[in-house]
Amino acid sequence: MSVRNDFPGLTANWHYLDSAATAQKPRAVIDAIARNYGEDYATVHRGVYRRSSDMTLRYEEARGACARFINAASSDECVFVRGATEAINLVAQSWGGANLRASDRIMLSVLEHHSNIVPWQLLAERVGAVIDVAPLTEDGRIDLDWVEANLTEQHKLVALCHLSNALGSVLDARRAADMAHGVGAKLLLDGCQSVPRLAIDVAALDCDFYVFSGHKLYGPTGIGVLWAKGDILNAMPPWQGGGSMIDRVTFARTTYTPAPGRFEAGTPHIVGAAGLHAAIDYVNAIGIDRIEAHERGLAGKARDALAQVNSVRLFGPEDGLGIVSFAIEGVHPHDIATILDEEGVAIRAGHHCCQPLMDQLGVPATARASFGVYSDESDVAALVQGVERVRTIFG
């Protein structure tokens, strides 16, 4: 797969291995953003003039593209948000506030991103709910056997990452859904890392909520999607008030539009939706199955090569998808990243917004290389060469 030339941000001899944080943007997305901020720009849902009507159509076409991309039953099940963080907060504040009470329980895992921990802590503190935390298997997967053994009818929600941003491990999401529903709980999946790398079918997964961010899917920042089953979404109360989400406003009483409009208060990120649509079209043109195979292969080669380097410790399963986390004995990950940067290799170093996971692993941080559709074997070679230089410098 050779699409590197589609990405203006990938300058010569620069090896970008931080796609799990944010993906580079193809020219098609950049052009769509420029066009929609330029000659096509107008507001949506309000104007009756032609350009506003055209922009409204494109905005709703973007919603439809998102729905088809994850096999949602209807585009009305997709709410545009700023990103997965806002989507999870929306569910916590709206659905959670309406459905959770004191002594109800929420099941998370030690693998979760902070964005899938803190909103539930805020909700639990407010309503008196209890949070349970599933441990990991030895190879860095969520221990679903433990989840199954510890789920009770007190659990109202299970919220898990579909693909770990720190370890690359993939959840058996359908099994998680069956277990959650077996005790009457809902399942929320954090799809930030899975949507750019796996074919997503929310109907087959049978989850209740699915969230993802556009900027990890080669789209712009500031746009993301909350998907929820239609009956659940339509029963949820609004969580922000303002324009667009209303039906009729009086000082005596306000009524609200049906979903998804009731959750999109104010002027939306119009151009962000257009950019996300272009990103989805770009990914579809390549084929998500090809992307998965490509990233799985590169991650496997990187793990195999790093495993041969003395003093390198690898984290996560051997079949981790698109993400390789590692440490070098006696070297802080920030030093690893700094030296790699001098070699033209950009990786992430830190706790990756997964501090409980780092505590579990017994390290303050890891170095993380993450691949994208534009990555190739030269990136793997540059990474390994840079790691050898780190070892030379630190002896």
Residue 305 neighbours by CB distance under 10 Å = 17
Non-local CB neighbours of 349 within 8 Å, separated by 6+ positions: 333, 334, 336, 337, 365, 366, 367, 368
List the one residue out of 347, 344, 385 whose CA is nearest residue 13: 344
Per-residue DSSP letter, 95: I
Q: Do β-strands 323-328 and 246-249 pair in parallel, antiparallel, or remain unpaired? A: unpaired
Beta strand 186-190 pairing with 155-161: parallel
Residue 195: CB partners within 8 Å, gap ≥ 6?
A: 69, 70, 212, 216, 217
Question: What single-letter DSSP state applies at residue 167?
Answer: T
Number of Cβ atoms within 10 Å of the Cβ of 376: 15
User: CB-based contacts of 90: which residues, under 8 Å, 6+ apart?
Assistant: 79, 81, 226, 239, 263
> In whole angstroms, how far apart are CA 111 and each of 32, 166, 276?
36, 8, 27
Question: DSSP characters for 169-230?
Answer: -B--HHHHHHHHHHTT-EEEEE-TTTTTTS---HHHHT-SEEEEESGGGTS-TT-EEEEE-H
Bridge partners, residue 346, by sequence = 16
Residue 87's φ and ψ, nearest 5 degrees, are -60, -45
- Pair 314, 73: CB distance under 8 Å: no
- On the 0-12 / 13-18 / 19+ scale of CB atoms within 10 A, 377 is exposed
> Which residue from 103, 159, 133 is spatially nearest to 356, judged by alpha carbons?
133
Provide the annotated active-site residues. Answer: 353
